[in-house]
Amino acid sequence: MIRIKLSLMMLLQYMMYAVWWVPLAAYLTNLDVSSFEKSMILSSMAIGCLVSPVVGMLADRFFPGQKVLATLNLLNAVMLLLAGTTNQPDLLFIFLLIAMLGYMPSWSLTSSIAMAHLPSEQFPKIRVFGSIGWVASGIFSVIFIRFLGLDFDGTNIPFYCGAGVSIIAVFINLTLPNTPPPAKGKKGSIIDAFGLRTVELMRDKNFALFIIFSFLSLIPFSMYYSFFSEFLLNINTKYISVTMNWGVLAEMGFLLLVPPAIKKFGLRKVMIFGLIALTVRYFSFYAGGIINQSWMYYIGILIHGLIFGFFYVGGQIYIDKKAPAELKSQAQGFIFLVTFGAGLLVGNFICSELIANFKSEAGYNWNAIWGISTLSSVVLVVAFMLLFKNNDELLKSQ
How far is 241 from 27, CA to CA, in rounded Å? 12
The pLDDT assigned to 371 comes to: 96
Which residues, in sequence order, are bridge partners of residue 363?
360
Q: What pLDDT score does 396 carry?
A: 47
**Residue 110 burial (C-beta neighbours within 10 Å; 0-12, 13-18, 19+):** buried
| pLDDT (tens digit per residue) in 79-97 | 999 999 998 999 999 999 9
Adjacent-strand bridge partners of 364: 359
pLDDT above 90 covers a percentage of the chain that reads 36
> How do residues 215-256 score in pLDDT, each as one tens digit?
999 999 999 988 888 898 888 887 788 888 888 778 777 877
Distance CA 151, CA 30 (A): 12
CA distances to 18, 29, 76, 160, 260 from 172, rounded to whole Å, are 18, 35, 15, 19, 31
Position 65 confidence tier, pLDDT thresholds 50, 70, 90: confident
CB atoms within 10 A of CB 242: 21
> How far is the C-alpha of 203 from the C-alpha of 260, rounded, in Å?
30
* Percent of the chain surpassing pLDDT 70: 91
For 350-359, give one letter per residue: b (16+ CB within 10 A) or e: bbbebbeebe
CA–CA dist 3, 121 (Å, integer): 14
Longest dimension (CA), the chain: 63
Domain range annotation of the chain = 2-177+199-396
Cα of 353 vs its chain's centroid, Å: 21
Nearest CA to 155 out of 88, 234, 236, 84 is that of 84
Domain topology for 2-177+199-396: Growth Hormone; Chain: A; (1.20.1250)
Position 209 pLDDT exceeds 60: yes
State the pLDDT at residue 336: 76
d(CA 116, CA 329): 10
d(CA 10, CA 160): 20
Count other C-beta atoms under 10 Å from residue 226's C-beta.
24
pTM over 0.85: no
Query: Which of 53-62, 139-148, 239-248 shows the lowest per-residue confidence on average (mean pLDDT)?
Result: 53-62
Residue 186 pLDDT class (50, 70, 90 cuts):
low
Summarised one tens digit per residue, pLDDT across range 338-382 is 888 889 889 999 998 999 899 887 788 999 999 999 999 999 999
* Side-chain half-sphere exposure of 137, counting CA atoms within 13 A: 39
